[in-house]
Amino acid sequence: MPKIVILPGDGIGPEVTAAAVEVLREVAPDVTFEEHAIGGGAYDQYGDPLPPITRDALADADAVLLGTVGGAHNSPWNLLPRPLRPESGLLALRKLLGCYANLRPVRVQPGLEHLSPLKPELARGVDILIVRELLGGVYFDQDRKIEGDTAYNTMRYTTAEVERVAKVAFWAAEQRRGRVTSVDKANVLEVSELWRRDVTALRDRDYRNIHLNHEYVDSVAMLIVSDPSRYDVIVTENLFGDILSDLAAVIPGSLGLMPSASLGDGAGLFEPIHGSAPDIAGKGIANPAAAIMSAGMLLRHGLKRSDAANQIDRAVALALREHPTPDLGGKADTKTFTRAVLNAMGSPSVG
Catalytic residues: 139, 185, 218, 242, 246
Radius of gyration of the chain (CA): 20
Are 5 and 276 a contacting pair, CB within 8 Å? no
18, 28, 58, 69: which one binds ligand NAD (CB under 6 A)? 69
Alpha helices in the chain (DSSP H): 13-27, 40-46, 52-58, 86-97, 120-123, 159-175, 190-206, 217-226, 238-248, 289-297, 306-322, 334-344
Least distance from ligand IPM to the Cβ atom of residue 87, Å = 4
**Order of strands across the sheet with 3-9?**
32-35, 3-9, 63-68, 268-270, 261-264, 99-107, 127-133, 233-236, 179-184, 211-216
Least gap, CB of 278 to ligand NAD (angstroms):
6
In the set 10, 15, 26, 87, which binds ligand IPM (CB under 6 A)? Answer: 87
Amino acid code (one letter) for 145: K
Q: How many residues bind ligand NAD (CB under 6 A)?
A: 22
Whether residue 156 is annotated as binding a ligand: the answer is no
Among 255, 267, 316, 344, binds ligand NAD (CB under 6 A): 255
User: Restricting to residues 156-195, which ones interact with ligand NAD according to CB under 6 A?
Assistant: none
Residue 278 touches which member of ligand IPM, Mn ion, ligand NAD, none, C-beta under 5-8 Å by kind? ligand NAD
Q: Does 15 sit near ligand NAD (CB under 6 A)?
A: no
Whole-number Å distance between alpha carbons of 324 and 257: 11
Pairing of strands 179-184, 233-236: parallel
Our finding on whether 68 is near ligand NAD (CB under 6 A) is: yes
| Class of residue 288 by CB neighbours under 10 A (exposed 0-12, middle 13-18, buried 19+) | buried
Confirm or reject binding of residue 38 to ligand NAD (CB under 6 A): no
Chosen residue from 2, 266, 278, 330 binding ligand NAD by CB under 6 A: 278
Q: How far is the CB of 166 from ligand NAD (least distance, A)?
A: 23
- Asked if 70 touches ligand IPM (CB under 6 A), the answer is yes
153 is in an annotated binding site: no
Residue 276 as a binder of ligand NAD (CB under 6 A): the answer is yes
Per-residue x/- track, 232-271, Mn ion (CB under 5 A): ----------x-----------------------------
Q: Is 282 annotated in some ligand binding site? A: yes
Query: What DSSP line would sit under 55-96, residue for residue?
Result: HHHHTT-SEEEEEE----TT-GGGGS-GGGSHHHHHHHHHHH
191 burial via Cβ count (<10 Å: 0-12, 13-18, 19+)? buried
Total residues binding ligand IPM (CB under 6 A) = 6
Q: Minimum Å distance from CB 266 to ligand IPM?
A: 19
Which secondary-structure segment (H or E) carries 152? Answer: strand 150-152
Binding-site positions: 94, 104, 132, 218, 242, 246, 275-287
Binding-site positions for Mg(2+): 218, 242, 246
